[in-house]
Amino acid sequence: MTIIASLLRNAELPDSPTARLDVELLLAAALGKPRSFLHTWPERIVSTEAAQAFAGYLQRRRTGEPVAYILGQQGFWSIDLEVATHTLIPRPETEMLVETALELLPGAIAHRLLDLGTGTGAIALSLAKDRPQWEVTAVDRVQEAVELAERNRRRLHLDNAQVLHSHWFSAVEGQRFDLILSNPPYVAASDPHLAEGDVRFEPSSALVSGPDGLDDLRLIVSQAPVHLASDGWLLLEHGHDQGPAVRDLLLGHGFEQIQTRRDLGDHERITFGRVSC
């Protein structure tokens, strides 16, 4: 017989920077319990079936497969999301987009928002949940991502959001929004990090954007003005060294009040600007 404390003590994930957290998440999932259960009942006997499931999870993690893909879910902002291998795993730094959007727009007004390249729907659905009076549109060019985001939307019962199949702005021609935001692909094609860590398992189409990583950012910035309402905002996540380039892009396309914010690692992470009246 094996107890929870023994499994936690003996599990090894030598190549994971978050080994302890990974082990706890995987064991909790194998048991069908929250992580708090592990520490509340460390002497609880683990069934053979749960122990085998945990062993399988550990083996997959040792190959580098992200925990979110193993478990099929990931928390983001105030919601839990289904995730799959055809979308990026939502990351904590992307929550800055949600936080900044909530700061930029008055909460009591029925604003219209557009999330470009929504993936799991993390950004759009977080905003729709926090601001039920807003109308949020989420788009993605990958049909499987659209279906995934729609499943998340339905599970969260967010009737003020819609998910559309669209290559950037193609499905919203003629529409204008008070705020457009995006976490687009922004990794250079030659970036060595693409062959390292969890990123190896994520879809390159959601990561890579040309030789310098700026192809999609250029397209979004150039096309956004005709889709923004008067005094509308464009809010973008980008690479840690791309802040100057994104600021130049926004300035070159008539944006004003341009600002950049840094993430917890003190890297320039999001940049935003406003179209003139």
Q: Is 12 inside a domain boundary?
A: yes
Name the residue with tokens 């669209």.
166
Instruction: Assess whether 6 and 106 both reside in one domain.
Output: no
Domain containing 130: what range?
Answer: 79-275
Instruction: Assess whether 101 and 51 both reside in one domain.
Output: no
Query: How many residues belong to the chain?
Result: 277
Structure tokens at 127: 């905003």
**Listed residues 33, 63, 93: the one ending a domain:** 63
- The total domain count for the chain is 2
Q: Reply yes or no on whether the pLDDT at 268 is more than 70.
A: yes
Q: Is 68 inside a domain boundary?
A: no
Name the residue with tokens 């993936």.
119
Name the residue with tokens 């889709």.
227
End-to-end CA distance of the chain: 70
Instruction: Assess whether 124 and 223 both reside in one domain.
Output: yes
Instruction: Assess whether 127 and 238 both reside in one domain.
Output: yes
User: Tens of pLDDT along 106-161?
Assistant: 878 899 999 999 999 999 999 999 999 999 999 999 999 999 999 999 999 999 99
Instruction: Assess whether 124 and 47 both reside in one domain.
Output: no
137 φ/ψ angles, rounded to the nearest 5 degrees: -110, 130
User: Tens of pLDDT along 211-252?
Assistant: 999 999 999 999 999 999 999 999 999 999 999 999 999 999
Sign, CA torsion 25/28/32/34: negative
Tell me how many degrees the CA angle 172-174-175 measures, rounded to the nearest 5: 60
Q: What is the CATH number of the domain that holds 237?
A: 3.40.50.150
